[in-house]
Structure 1
Amino acid sequence: MLKYFMLLKPIFRLHCLLLGIVCLIALPVQADEKAMIEYLQSLNLGQLTEMKVTLDDVFDVFDGLVKKRRLTVATGAEQSTERAPAVTTVITAQDIEAIGATDLDEVLETVPGLHVSRDTVLNNPIYVIRGIYSSTNPEVLVLINGISTKKLFYGNRGRAWGGMPVNAIARIEIIRGPGSAVFGADAFSGVINIITKGVEDIKGTEIGMRVGAFNTQDAWLLHGSQQSGFDIAAMLEYHNTDGHQEIIDADTQSQFDKKHGTNVSNAPGPINLSRRNLDARLDISRGNWQLRTGYQGRRNVGTGVGMAQALDPAGKYEADRINADLTYHNPTFTKYWDVTTQASYYDTTLTGYQTLFPSGFKQAYPEGRIVLPSVFERHTRFAISGFYAGFAKHLVRVGAGYNYEDFYKYIQRMNFGIDPATGKPLSPNNTRLIELTDTPYASMRETARENEYMFLQDTWTINANWVLTGGVRYDHYSDFGTTINPRLALVWQTRPNLTSKLLYGRAFRAPSFSELYLNSQIMKGNPNMQPEIIQTWELAFDYRATEYLNLALNLFTYKISDVINFQTSTNTESQVGRGLEMEARWKLTKNFSVLGNYAFQNSIDKKYNHDVGNAPQHQIYLRTDWMPIPNWYLNTQINWVAKRKRPYGDPRAELDDYTMVDLTMRYKKLKGNWNFALNIRNLFDVKAFEPSPGQNRGSFISIPNDLPLAGRHFFAEMRYHF
């Protein structure tokens, strides 16, 4: 533990500097603030709740004076974040609206210790939590209403994720750290649970639209009401954009042009980031029953910098994702039992048209090297769990479930490689597409995975100040076997305004089907691959210094074993990491509040004793919310990302640090119908980049100058609620 406090020492000056800045901001605190506080203290609970809409001024970092941020993702039971046996963050719809976020990625960048990087494949987001980075990002489990969104192919959210709009989101619950004892596979570095809006969140009908840079148009319709005893919430969201047009200076084909004396690369040229999305959700509940359905359609999804890191301006993907879940929840099933049963279904399809290399590649391929993949998956899940309160001072949770995940169709068409009809290589001048589906030359085979699990968890209230939570989950997989993952959390109410936590957790990441079964010319899967394992130890403090100032500090260390190396198809590597996260929420006046956090991590690849690379070692996020005049709100965000080293073997210098500033000005009457906003992202037009991969098998770097982020851009928004 001593090394953690030594770790804090060099950061102390930075912390003091930030505190000094906030203190300067606090100078204009009104002279009658003390009198106002004394007046509030004289009110009873009911009166204080009535005052909330005036004091919160619509957007407040404390989410109200009385209401505390609560979550279910940590244990399955609703509890306050400060008493949860995990390091958690809850982001509400109020927060999302205040910062002017239009996509999930913009929201997650505000979380301490979480950075949103980018992959070369379709510019997909990489949610880097505490320095754990990989291009396909299977280490983070993303849930929508508690249902996993992961796919079998890469073990992540899918190749054509296409972003997620935020207008239908009620709140987002985030665990930083392992969660396999509750959620099973892939709750490895963290869990992100997206809760969509219900009747009470919408309360009527909302119509909205947004236009802005990059030829972007958004529209949405939300409705929530009670009909014939049913609570019905319906949500429809549309998004269309060309994406930003930042330039890629050189790509893989640029290197081949030098080698073969050609000039066919599309670089320098813009990154391909177009997409057209449709999201629809329906939530119907009555009594103990709830039915939720959803659809996410993705069309015209650009290929980013290209599947082979060669610009592909015409490449497009499309995807359809359909989900449904039926839940029965009875909190008084018997005297001591609170029971939940759930059946869910998730169907995904993906089709791509991509040109790996342009026309003239190697002085051949008149139409370029073309691949048209199609992937089809079905996920069927059944679960039952219950809380038992029949033991004094104990709340026991038990559960079991069964998942059947079916990779039931894979179609592959291309104009190069081996012709299955002849068994011979196709001519470089071939222009016809060949079908490799269900042949020995197909890159993937169709197969399925079964998962049975059971878990046990006990929350023991030792006394009024001490709570011990222990749990274990057993998982059996049909392809790689059994894994057991425990957790232990001791929560101490050290003082009425100070909570301390000591946490331990073990989690696993299941190997994806591509890691197990891929059969391409470049990479081979290994059916004997085993899951990655992480063990994490954490020490956390939550301190409510005053009614208007909340501070938090988290210290962590972790060790990852059996790291999956996709290049060699083995479990031979390990990684260790340590770091800290600090948070502060401060309501300076009834019209001005500040939220800030700082995160540090140091993650080492043990094989080379070298920084894992690509993830920022330092992050600072600062948010201010200000109501300068009635009904007008100004939100400012500052995000500093620093010290991103390269992984072992990448000879390039560290990426440059960057500081992004965003502004949102909003007009909103508390009891009115209209809501207008103007949002400016990257106010100072900073040139910022996310890391591209290092050297490939050809011993050169395909995108040597990294992946550019968007420059300054604007959005205007209008909402009407009735």
Structure 2
Amino acid sequence: MKNRLYIIIYILVALLMPQHIKAQDNNALRQIYLQAEEEYQVGRLEQALQLLQTNINGFDGNLKQSAYRLIALCYMAQDNSTQSENYAKLLLQENPYYTSIQDPIRFEELINRLKTGQSATITTASNQAERIEEAPVPVTLITEDMIKMSGARNLKELLIAFVPGMTNVECNEEMNIAMRGIYSSGQEKILIMMDGHRLNSYATNVARPDYSISLEKVKQVEVLRGPASSLYGGVALTAVINIITKRGNDIDGFRVKGGIGNYGQIQGDVLFGQHYLNFDVTAWANFYQADGEKRNIPLESQLGVIPMEGDIIIGGFNKKPTYDFGTRISWKNLSLMYSSNFSKTVAPYSLSYFFAPYDYSKYGLMDGNAPGYASTAQHVHLNYKKTFGKLSMDASITYDAEQQNRYQVISDYFPAEELGYVLIPNGYEAEIYPTEYTFQYCSWLEQNCGVSVNGNLPYRLNSDHNGTISFGAQYNYFELMSSRNLEGDMGDRVLVEFHGTKNLFPGIENSADAYFQLKHQWKSFILNGGLRYDYKRRKNKKSIHELSPRIALVFVQPQYNVKLSYSKAFVDAPYYYRYNTLDTYSGGEELLSEYLHSFQLSISSTKLMKGLEVELNSFYNKASNLIYPDGLVYTNSGTLQSIGAELVAKYTHNRLTTTINAEWQHVVSSENYTANSHSIYNIPNFATSILASYRLGYGFNIRGNLNVLSKQTWLYQQAPEMGIEPEERTLPSRAIFSMGLDYKYKALEVFLDCHNVFNKKYEQGGSSIGPIAQQGRWIKLQVAYKF
């Protein structure tokens, strides 16, 4: 650790030294910019333009953004709309998330027009700023207005509302989501990032789309639909989600928000942001807790091996609130991000095949946490950007640490003597049969240190041929530092702490990768191809080598847009599966990577009729080596071939805004995966979300969200030793309607939301033994004020 600390200090010194050397030059350039701004204010536009354009190559970071903005304003004042738009585009290339707040109305409208519709700008698809039409794969862009329109309470609900192919699946212990029918016991197949920084655990590959990711700080969410390992490596198997946080000028002040609701809901948010000439700061803090909704489960309807009288808790986040706080600070070309998150939901049922209600109040705290799967994460990202002529480079240092505590209830009543299950407490020779309020507990501490370098080099061969060459490399050092596994009874009595057996074993793994991407445009055609090489040296000294290609052809026209792409992705078997000998979730160190090949064809248009935007996408997926549970042990035995079609449409007219996303998918073939001959278990063949928002006037806005799913098939399957034959069962189709009402008066905002308005009772399956009851009618009132 000491050597790594020295290396980080040396890199920091190397990054900061050029800033010190160039301080005098930057001060001079800042004075030039201020002089140009004074010339603009008094109407001496030519003089302002001459000052800025003469020195434009010397400006860096926020100062360059400000220069592009001021040049665009000067041309706009001269009624030169072409040049004004050109420099506004350069501004958005420097900062795709620039928000116009105190600019003239004409310039604000120009920025909004360039950032929406056909000119919407993203960075995730090709690791560079580009319009959605140019992106090599289907992209869903969720803006701040769309977040408000959805009424989503967490990231999972937001994704289901707007991203075709994303559906809810249950895993009992944590929030989970499937993409095009592929899912696991946790959300470990989709890469979730914040401002390009990975949030997925390096031990489990899991990132939870729950309340530990506050939506208040989000500027927009960019979702790549389909494999993306050619840029992002492992975990980016089925999709990539990049959460773009607000910058200081997006907030421009201090905003507080608080809310209460039924079932013990309490939520609080604080958001601060300021932007100065070369300095930008954002800070956020959020917490959420809920007692949860109790639902009685009759004995005759229970599926576990030991049915128990009692209630389950749905949607509980209690005993310790979920939180998300952090900050992002930028100064010239240097930026620093820090965030800390905590999440723990109440598991409705006891673990695995027991799958019964339990008395949550009878179990004590373990390391400060009540029963459930708790995760406390710290993320640090230091980034430095520099331009060398046409070449733009950035270098990053990252650090991630995560404490995970898996506190699982076995059963309120456990007939250990009948089952022949004996424990010998540490330090004793006598045998003990655990009897009631039994539990198991596994905790571990992990960390990852990383460094990366990325570059983009634009080129122009002639008036018809131009493009960008992108490249990068990364190194990661991962360590599972310590772990603890124990079992007990009486709700808080520890009987045995395991060491050599039933353990998650500490260890170290190193990984490195490099990628190359070419984006070439010839008239209306864009060729986008890339290849990434990933290397990992596992704890057992064995190495894995992966190549992930992507090739896409894009045809851009004023009236429509066509994309054809192929990509291959992988995700390495999680460390957690490979190096534990627990009774549940074990796999073995020989587990291999999972693979997904995908072909996609997309057609989109914003010109069919005024106010209407439409995208149609079709896909063929071929997945192999999928990790599949054989009883309680995971193996690389699953294969799945599926086809599907997706529709995304948005219509805006006067005060009305509506969106619809829909997906149909069909299983072509499968083996050792949760599917039959035509559908994937716990995944609907058809799903759609329809959202609408209408401005009533006088500051009021009403919105609604209808989520419709076709019937689902699920497989009831108990432990092989139980002698129960697997049985296919069906969940009926459903339609869940939610709505909300907003009111805004100056700096005051009020939000009233009702989830599941008609209190429909329904269940959802997933990786749990059987379907789990979902939330009924939940109501929440929130009030926000900006200072």
Task: Find out whether 1:511 has 2:567 as its counterpart.
Answer: no
Kindly provide the CA deviation profile for residues 130-156 of structure 1, in whole angstroms up to 9, marking residues without a partner as x. 121322231111112211122244321
Asked whether the equivalents of residues 586 and 594 of structure 1 are also in contact (C-alpha less than 8 Å), the reply is yes
Q: Offset at 1:596?
A: 1.2
User: Letter of the aligned partner of 1:715 in structure 2?
Assistant: K
Could you tell which deviates more after superposition, 532-541 or 129-138? 129-138
Q: Offset at 1:52?
A: 8.4
Task: Find out whether 1:531 has 2:618 as its counterpart.
Answer: no
In 2, Cα distance between equivalents of 1:323 and 1:306: 31
Q: Offset at 1:506?
A: 0.4
Q: What does residue 223 of structure 1 align with?
A: 272
- Name the TM-score, length of structure 2 as normaliser: 0.76
Asked whether the equivalents of residues 214 and 242 of structure 1 are also in contact (C-alpha less than 8 Å), the reply is yes
In 1, Cα distance between equivalents of 2:470 and 2:152: 36
Q: Offset at 1:102?
A: 2.2
Kindly provide the CA deviation profile for residues 357-411 of structure 1, in whole angstroms up to 9, marking residues without a partner as x. 1144347624432222211110111110101124531310011010112111111
Kindly provide the CA deviation profile for residues 291-346 of structure 1, in whole angstroms up to 9, marking residues without a partner as x. 010111346x423323332334242454321111001122xx21121101111111
Q: 1:376/1:522 Cα in 2 relative to 1: closer, same or farther (>3 Å)?
A: closer
Could you tell which deviates more after superposition, 390-399 or 446-455? 390-399
Q: Offset at 1:693?
A: 4.8
Q: Offset at 1:571?
A: 2.3
User: Letter of the aligned partner of 1:659 in structure 2?
Assistant: A
Q: What does residue 419 of structure 1 align with?
A: none
Asked whether the equivalents of residues 454 and 471 of structure 2 are also in contact (C-alpha less than 8 Å), the reply is yes
Q: 1:636/1:531 Cα in 2 relative to 1: closer, same or farther (>3 Å)?
A: same
Asked whether the equivalents of residues 253 and 357 of structure 1 are also in contact (C-alpha less than 8 Å), the reply is no
In 2, Cα distance between equivalents of 1:682 and 1:55: 37
Q: 1:43/1:109 Cα in 2 relative to 1: closer, same or farther (>3 Å)?
A: farther
In 2, Cα distance between equivalents of 1:719 and 1:43: 41
Kindly provide the CA deviation profile for residues 417-445 of structure 1, in whole angstroms up to 9, marking residues without a partner as x. xxxxxxxxxxx999542221xx2213211
Task: Find out whether 1:319 has 2:375 as its counterpart.
Answer: yes
Gaps of 5+ in 2: 1-78, 86-99, 362-370, 418-432, 718-725
Q: What does residue 729 of structure 2 align with?
A: 653
Q: What does residue 295 of structure 1 align with?
A: 340
Task: Find out whether 1:328 has 2:404 as its counterpart.
Answer: no
User: Letter of the aligned partner of 2:483 in structure 1?
Assistant: Y
Question: Which entry has the higher C-alpha Rg, 1 or 2?
Answer: 2
Q: Offset at 1:194?
A: 1.2
Task: Find out whether 1:435 has 2:479 as its counterpart.
Answer: no
Q: 1:663/1:54 Cα in 2 relative to 1: closer, same or farther (>3 Å)?
A: farther
Q: What does residue 395 of structure 1 align with?
A: 468
* Aligned counterpart for 2:780 among listed residues 694, 706, 715: 715
Q: 1:384/1:44 Cα in 2 relative to 1: closer, same or farther (>3 Å)?
A: closer
In 2, Cα distance between equivalents of 1:195 and 1:267: 43
Kindly provide the CA deviation profile for residues 232-278 of structure 1, in whole angstroms up to 9, marking residues without a partner as x. 111111211112323444599975447xxxxxx24354447233122
User: Letter of the aligned partner of 2:378 in structure 1?
Assistant: I
In 1, Cα distance between equivalents of 2:125 and 2:282: 26
Alignment of 1:606-685 (within 5 A): 606-607=670-671, 610=677, 611-647=679-715, 650-669=726-745, 672-685=746-759
Kindly provide the CA deviation profile for residues 429-482 of structure 1, in whole angstroms up to 9, marking residues without a partner as x. 99542221xx2213211112211000000001122x001000000000112510
User: Letter of the aligned partner of 1:538 in structure 2?
Assistant: Q
If each structure's helix is expressed as a fraction of its own residues, which one has the higher value? 2
Q: What does residue 202 of structure 1 align with?
A: 251
Q: Offset at 1:484?
A: 0.2
Kindly provide the CA deviation profile for residues 609-659 of structure 1, in whole angstroms up to 9, marking residues without a partner as x. 633311111112111111122321111111111132225965243211111
Q: What does residue 25 of structure 1 align with?
A: none
Does the residue aligned with 1:82 lie in a helix, a strand or coil? helix
Task: Find out whether 1:578 has 2:643 as its counterpart.
Answer: yes
Q: 1:83/1:66 Cα in 2 relative to 1: closer, same or farther (>3 Å)?
A: closer
* Aligned counterpart for 2:661 among listed residues 587, 597, 604: 597
Q: 1:324/1:676 Cα in 2 relative to 1: closer, same or farther (>3 Å)?
A: same
Q: What does residue 244 of structure 1 align with?
A: 293
* Aligned counterpart for 1:354 among listed residues 408, 414, 425: 408
Q: Offset at 1:692?
A: 5.0
* Aligned counterpart for 1:267 among listed residues 310, 313, 325: 310
Task: Find out whether 1:410 has 2:410 as its counterpart.
Answer: no
Does the residue aligned with 1:110 lie in a helix, a strand or coil? helix
Q: What does residue 186 of structure 1 align with?
A: 235
In 1, Cα distance between equivalents of 2:553 and 2:619: 15
In 2, Cα distance between equivalents of 1:204 and 1:107: 26
Q: 1:311/1:640 Cα in 2 relative to 1: closer, same or farther (>3 Å)?
A: same
Q: What does residue 617 of structure 2 align with?
A: 554
Does the residue aligned with 1:415 lie in a helix, a strand or coil? strand
In 2, Cα distance between equivalents of 1:553 and 1:175: 15
Asked whether the equivalents of residues 247 and 270 of structure 1 are also in contact (C-alpha less than 8 Å), the reply is no
Could you tell which deviates more after superposition, 265-274 or 338-347? 265-274
The aligned length equals 639
Q: What does residue 349 of structure 2 align with?
A: 305
Asked whether the equivalents of residues 290 and 315 of structure 2 are also in contact (C-alpha less than 8 Å), the reply is no
Q: What does residue 200 of structure 2 align with?
A: 150
Could you tell which deviates more after superposition, 288-297 or 368-377? 368-377
Gaps of 5+ in 1: 1-41, 259-264, 417-427, 695-701
Q: Which structure carries more relative contact order (alpha carbon 8 Å, separation 6+)?
A: 1
Asked whether the equivalents of residues 414 and 434 of structure 2 are also in contact (C-alpha less than 8 Å), the reply is yes
In 2, Cα distance between equivalents of 1:655 and 1:583: 26
Does the residue aligned with 1:645 lie in a helix, a strand or coil? strand
Kindly provide the CA deviation profile for residues 63-91 of structure 1, in whole angstroms up to 9, marking residues without a partner as x. 97678432111010111222211111111
Does the residue aligned with 2:709 lie in a helix, a strand or coil? strand
